[in-house]
């Protein structure tokens, strides 16, 4: 016998959980507050472990069709001096496959197409979930995949459990020309990243002090190495996205509520995945990867323990994912501190620590 689950949020994590649970034969309802799937966003890195998880969810081949390999990238100073190499070759040697980059819309499409193909999942748009306890009472499992400002996390851990600002804003975009330079350039209190995303295009991001406007951005990078000034001059500022950099601190004591005991304001069984569980700064490019790994691990634990073993499944999921995801979040936050420092000596020391 299988159960019924409601998944709150149709981003990367929510779509992936819905696929995993549906594959296991569960009745799944997916609730999204927006009126349709948001098909915007720039490139996501997919580490080989996340690619393995996508394979297990049946989406790996579709993702690989639209993704590009990320094989060679350096850390530079603003005048173009190479400080270090990013450890991409090492990742590929160890895993036997390269890190990939995929634009967010393509990843969302691949997941949504798989969900369609599986059939039997009720997807409701325009559903802004506020009453988590009532929703939880109607289902065997409630999954909070509702991102940075998760209502499910707030219901379980209180409104103060939200992620904190880290003092930086990221402007991100895609340029319509290929760059031969990839990697990150670390300046004083700001940094710029360039990655492939699809043939003939370049994904870029600029992390700057919070509050920096699009109008101010080109001046901050005008004397940086090629093609950074050109990217900012030749892409349309109305296409740039402004992305808040936040980090969930303190880290959560658990990603689940197994339905026993009264803590959390309601007795339902709840699991958090993705940014809802461990929102992190994007420095290590692990936001989408960790959401996919969480989703697949949760679905796998549910399959292994069966419907009647749901409390055990939730505890197994928490054991497999919490420490690991929180370590990644902590490392990403620490890297952010070094990279956004005004002290170039500290920045250069951080670059030397990269295991390239």
Ligand X SMILES: Cc1cc2nc3c(=O)[nH]c(=O)nc-3n(C[C@H](O)[C@H](O)[C@H](O)COP(=O)(O)OP(=O)(O)OC[C@H]3O[C@@H](n4cnc5c(N)ncnc54)[C@H](O)[C@@H]3O)c2cc1C
Q: In the window 106-135, what residues touch ligand X (CB under 6 A)?
A: 127-129
**Pair type for strands 191-198 and 241-247:** unpaired
Site for ligand X contains 40 (CB under 6 A): yes
Instruction: Specify the residue, 78 or 147, whose C-beta has the smaller distance to ligand X.
Output: 147
DSSP letters of 193-229?
EEEEEETTEEEEEEEEETT--TTTHHHHTTTSPTTHH
Which segment (3-11, 71-79, 310-318, 333-341) binds ligand X by CB under 6 A?
A: 3-11
- Check residue 237 and give left, alpha or beta (phi > 0: left; psi -120 to 50: alpha): alpha
* Polymer length in residues for the chain: 356
Count residues near ligand X (CB under 6 A): 33
3-state class percentages of the chain: helix first, strand second, coil last, to nearest 5: 40, 25, 35
CA 31 to chain CA mean position, Å? 19
The residues, any chain, with a CB within 8 Å of residue 61's CB and separated by 6 or more, are 55
Closer CB to ligand X, 17 or 220, in the complex: 17
Residues 166-185 that bind ligand X (CB under 6 A): 172
Q: Which of residues 143-162 bind ligand X (CB under 6 A)?
A: 145-147, 151
Token duo for residue 334: 């620490």
Q: Which residue has the tokens 């919070």?
A: 210
8 in contact with ligand X (CB under 6 A):
yes
Residue 213 CB, nearest distance to ligand X (Å)? Answer: 19
Nearest distance in Å: CB 2, ligand X:
23
**Which of 13, 98, 183, 227 is the binder for ligand X (CB under 6 A)?**
13
CB nearer to ligand X: give 288 or 301.
Answer: 288
Stretch that binds ligand X, among 79-87, 229-237, 284-292, 316-324 (CB under 6 A): 284-292
In the region spanning residues 306 to 335, those forming contacts with ligand X, defined by CB under 6 A, are none
Q: Which two tokens stand for residue 218?
A: 């080109």
Q: Which x/- pattern, by CB under 6 A, does the window 178-217 give for ligand X?
A: ----------------------------------------
**CA 190 to CA 127: how far, in whole Å?**
38
Region of 152 please: left (phi>0), alpha (psi -120 to 50) or beta.
alpha
Q: How far is CA 323 from CA 53, 290, 300, 311, 356, in A?
A: 18, 12, 18, 19, 25
How close are the terminal C-alpha atoms of the chain, in Å? 49
By CB under 6 A, tell whether 287 contacts ligand X: yes
Which of 31/83 has CB closer to ligand X? 31
Span 219-278, contacts to ligand X by CB under 6 A? 241, 243, 274-276
Can you give the binding site for ligand X, defined by CB under 6 A? 8-14, 31-34, 38, 40-42, 104, 127-129, 145-147, 151, 172, 241, 243, 274-276, 282, 287-288, 291
């Amino acid at each position: 016998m299988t159960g019924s689950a409601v998944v709150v949020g149709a981003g990367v994590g929510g779509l992936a959980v819905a696929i995993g649970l549906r594959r296991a034969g569960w009745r799944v309802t997916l609730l999204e507050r927006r009126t349709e799937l948001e098909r915007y966003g720039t490139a996501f890195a997919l580490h080989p472990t996340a690619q393995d998880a996508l394979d297990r969810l049946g989406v790996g081949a579709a993702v690989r069709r639209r993704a590009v390999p990320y094989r060679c990238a350096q850390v530079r100073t603003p005048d173009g001096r190479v400080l270090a190499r990013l450890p991409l070759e090492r990742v590929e040697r160890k895993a036997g496959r390269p890190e990939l980059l995929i634009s967010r819309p393509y990843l969302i499409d691949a997941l949504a197409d798989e969900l369609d193909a599986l059939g039997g999942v009720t997807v409701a748009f325009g559903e802004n979930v506020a009453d988590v306890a009532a929703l939880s009472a109607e289902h065997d499992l409630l999954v909070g995949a509702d991102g940075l400002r998760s209502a499910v996390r707030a219901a379980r851990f209180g409104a103060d459990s939200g992620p904190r600002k880290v003092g930086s804003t990221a402007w991100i975009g895609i340029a319509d020309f290929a760059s031969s330079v990839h990697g990150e350039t670390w300046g004083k209190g700001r940094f710029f990243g360039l990655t492939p995303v699809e043939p003939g295009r370049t994904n870029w991001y600029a992390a700057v002090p919070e509050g920096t406007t699009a109008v101010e951005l080109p001046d901050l990078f005008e004397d940086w190495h090629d093609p950074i000034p050109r990217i900012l001059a030749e892409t349309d500022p109305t296409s740039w996205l402004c992305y808040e950099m936040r980090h969930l601190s303190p880290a959560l004591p658990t990603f689940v509520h197994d339905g026993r005991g009264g803590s959390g304001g309601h007795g339902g069984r709840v699991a958090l995945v993705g940014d809802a569980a461990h929102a992190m700064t994007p420095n290590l490019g692990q936001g989408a990867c960790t959401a996919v790994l969480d989703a697949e691990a949760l679905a796998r634990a549910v399959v292994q323990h069966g419907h009647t073993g749901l409390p055990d499944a939730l505890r197994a999921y928490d054991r497999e994912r919490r420490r690991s995801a929180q370590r990644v979040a902590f490392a990403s936050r620490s890297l952010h501190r070094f990279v956004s420092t005004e002290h170039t000596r500290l920045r250069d020391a951080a670059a030397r620590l990269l295991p390239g």
